[in-house]
Amino acid sequence: MKILTLNTGSSSLKYRLSEARRGSYIADGLVERIGSPESSISQDTREGRTSMPRRAPDHREAFQLMIKFLTDPEVGVIQDLGDIDAVGHRVVHGGDRFYESTEITPEIISAIQDFEDLAPLHNPINLLGIRIAKELFPDVPHVAVFDTSFHQTMSRVAYLYAIPLELHDRFHIRRYGFHGTSHRYVSRRAAEILSLPIDNLRMVTCHLGNGCSMAAIRDGKSIDTTMGLTPLEGLVMGTRSGDIDPSVVFFLVNKRGYDLDQVERLLNKESGILGVSGLTNDVKTVLEASHGGNERARLALEIFSYRVKKYIGAYMAALGGLDCIVFTAGVGERSAEMRKLICTGLEELGIELDDDLNRRCFACEMVVSVDDSPVKVVVVPTDEEHVIASETFRVATSKGG
């Protein structure tokens, strides 16, 4: 059974064709910079990598490029679209309705639309991808896999904000959490690497990229997470501020003449690593600048690592102890220096890196703590597409697809 997984972004289309039963990929592809003259497509297969500039003025054309590459006589991997048995879609926000992945019907599309206010940058574009894909693949099951569903196991104590409960009841204002497919995958994979049953582990998973979130996981279930109603809450990120006193908004609007659109742009697109460093949201570049003596770059990294460190302590308390920390995503997988900066000073809590192993680990699966560290530190490259494909196979076969 061949499954196509789709992650439709505002300017990109990420796709993977998988062999469901084997759990292996056939092709990985990415259409970048949709709408730009510099748009391009790249595709990895077992035969190698193909990449070239191709015009993709809109998402519909990006889908056509994907189909062309998948079916191309020279670089393609299937003969025609009839070889695809099911399509899985990443959907960012499922609100408090979707506790698990589900087959996409007109009613499900309407429900996803209902949560657009909670994810205005993500759900509309996810829905666009769903509509285009259903036109192109009308005769196969389509499955929505929600970023938020993994965190639906949080208790009311963890997900409710201390505001009038009527606001939750009327407007669904609460903590939802994101990156759920990533937290789910790396927590399970880390348990496998450690040869320990996940249903008896207390874990903190750290998804550190341009967007960042952490989750406290007990027995394989999320009990708390850093992102909230939207992806703005929690850790310092590439361009997002993370946790901030809400009165900053009132101060900027009422005392300094900002309008709400300016504040939203400030907190989501001009803050975080970019805002503090004054350079870029790219951690690698900021690290290089800090090595060259740039004090703002150094400060940005220290604030970033301090926030992660603080949440590790908080989640140890929430979990009643800790067995494992997992690092994943671009920064978590690839930056030994940031992992070191985060873990330094936590030795008294039973967290001790092996400096040599940590330096050697770059986008690899590896335990990077010392052998006798009470809390194991594991690096696991995330694979959200694997989760989407697995969930799509499960839902499609259970529905008779």
Enzyme catalytic residues: 147
Closest CA to 27 of 73, 75, 95: 75
> What is the C-alpha to C-alpha distance for residues 119 and 127, in angstroms, rounded to an integer?
12
> What is the C-alpha to C-alpha distance for residues 209 and 330, in angstroms, rounded to an integer?
5
C-alpha pair distances (Å), 283 with each of 104, 208, 239: 37, 10, 11
> What is the C-alpha to C-alpha distance for residues 221 and 153, in angstroms, rounded to an integer?
6
Closest CA to 84 of 105, 63, 98: 63
Residues 33 and 11: beta-carbon distance below 8 Å = yes
Strand-pairing partners, residue 206, are 214, 327
The H or E element that residue 376 is part of is strand 376-379
DSSP 140: S
> What is the C-alpha to C-alpha distance for residues 182 and 184, in angstroms, rounded to an integer?
5
Q: Where in 122-211 does DSSP place strands (E)?
A: 142-146, 202-208
H-assigned helices in 49-122? 59-71, 106-114
Residue type for position 11: S
Residue 152 makes CB contacts below 8 A (sequence gap 6+) with: 96, 98, 99
CA angle 81/82/88 to nearest 5° reads 70
Cβ density class 158-171: b for 16+ within 10 Å, e for less: bbeeeeeeeebeee
Determine the straight-line distance between the first and last CA of the chain, rounded to whole angstroms: 10
Residues 95 and 114: beta-carbon distance below 8 Å = yes
